[in-house]
Amino acid sequence: MQRPPFRAARAANATAGLGLLPATTIVFGDSLSDTGNVFNETNCVLPSPGAYWRGRFSNGPVWGDHLARLVTKQAARAAGANSSAATAAAAATTTANITLQNYSHGGATACDVGGISRTVPNLSEQVLSYLASAPSAVADNGAAAAAAAAVAGNSSAGGNSSADGATCLPLRPPPAAAAVNANLAERGRTGRLFIVFIGHNDLLLLSPEQMTDPRVVNQTVANITACRVAALDRLMAALSPPVPPPPPLGTATSTGQRASRRAEPATAAGGGGDGSARRLAQRLSKRALLTSSPPASSPAANCDLPAAASSAANAAAGGGCSGGGGGGRDRIVVWTLAPIDAAPLVPDSARRFLRAAVADHNAQLEASLAPLRRRYPNGPTLQVYDANAAAAAVLKEVAGKLNTTGQCLSYPVGQSGSVVERAAPEAVAATRSNVCSDPDSYVSYDGLHPTSVVHRIALAEPFAAQLGWL
């Protein structure tokens, strides 16, 4: 019996997309990304397990958890949609091997700014932890929740209940495929995916007076950029192969070898969901939110596209890939800063200054990475993902459907100090009784951090769509 055309096309897309799924994703960031590092290191007391879910600064899974769940579902879909036993087995293996290794810490900054953030590792220190193969938090890909639901006969087990937060899971060492010195066979043909999403707290730790001082804000933006470049320089140096010595004078070099040394892979943005949020992610996938700028003078072999698209790109670029799906090259994706000016805890008097600072930072981001691409031509691909544009589009879409100005958690916040300092009492002492009855009807959970549903529809799904994972 033949499959209906739509179902057959969906099966083919799922199988083709499987080649793009990274075996390992490594994340560096702050409380928007933390999946349990601060919680573990404070013996399960921060953020408060009564109000926050499993060490996340939200009422449920954060974007990294949602991303892991989306990737796992995509691999499982490919296994079920294709009748080939070999493909199904490969998809099942991919599902089992997907790992999100997370070095993000709540309160972390791009720079060493002192104060409350000094108690957690900044970006450079997170990179050093990864390079030392230190253990870290991981993402919740939903497998444990699904198993618990099956045992309990309850499909909603492990959802977004913030009452389910008291378990302190141990930090895990990175698997072999994530290790900084992992070889191609260990980490798979697609290489590793590194995500850098940090810099918000450098601005949110400014006092209200500093936030409205253009000189202070501009200097802070410059510092964030410089600190990120320095940390990425260290990471890319560790991930890049040694530069071979030049051939002896008089030694002939083939045209193919010269082209190979010049080539720098270009990047791909792709898209592909259920419900209005998924359709929004699909629409966003048509926008160029994921960018990269290899030198214009260099032919670019595109090793990040599915096989069909990659072969066409390679033909135009003179080869360079061994098929679609990455060719084993690592990829670093730097996210723009999110629209933090919309957080309810930001003083009204500072919103326009903060909005301008984020816009200024994001506008400079692409250019700030160009010297790193030139310095490490054979290192990881280095891209920018416009998380701000994606989140802003979602916030515009949900206006009038979700509460965009209030917050779910009703706990007295600090009356003075920076935004981060004012939010600290909630994270420390809020209990289940302070949580509203329907967190997912809000954009903001505690006045600073998004609710789980916003993590999914504004951060995880648009990014997954850009990479072709939906």
For 29-80, the three-class secondary structure string (H helix, E strand, C coil) is ECCCCCCCHHHHHCCCCCCCCCCCCCCCCCCCCCHHHHHHHHHHHHHHHHHH
Cα separations (Å) of 123 from 104, 198, 202, 362?
8, 7, 11, 17
Tell me which residue of 51, 69, 67, 49 sits closest to 59, measured CA to CA: 51
Q: What is the pLDDT of residue 145?
A: 52
| DSSP character string of 113-166 | --GGGGGS--HHHHHHHHHTT--BEE---SHHHHHHHHHHT-TTTTSS-TTS--
pLDDT digits (tens, 9 = 90+) for 215-244: 999 999 999 999 999 999 999 999 998 766
Query: Mean pLDDT of all residues in the chain?
Result: 77
- Beta strand pairing status for 137-138 and 99-102? antiparallel
Task: Name residues whose C-beta falls within 8 Å of residue 416's C-beta, 6 or more positions apart in sequence.
Answer: 422
Q: What is the pLDDT of residue 72?
A: 79
Span 173-197, average pLDDT: 79
Paired residues of 442 in beta bridges = 403
CA gap 120, 135 in Å, rounded? 15
User: The whole model's pTM is what?
Assistant: 0.79
Tell me which residue of 339, 123, 148, 325 sits closest to 228, measured CA to CA: 123
Q: How confident is the model at residue 349 (pLDDT cuts 50, 70, 90)?
A: very high
Listed in sequence order, the DSSP H helices in 153-213 are 184-187, 200-204, 208-211
Buried residues in 233-248 as b, exposed as e (16+ CB within 10 A): bebbeebeeeeeeeee
Residue 384: its H or E element: strand 381-385
Q: Compute how many other C-beta atoms are within 10 angstroms of the C-beta atom of residue 297.
A: 6
Residue 213 corresponds to which tokens in the numbers above?
A: 């001082």
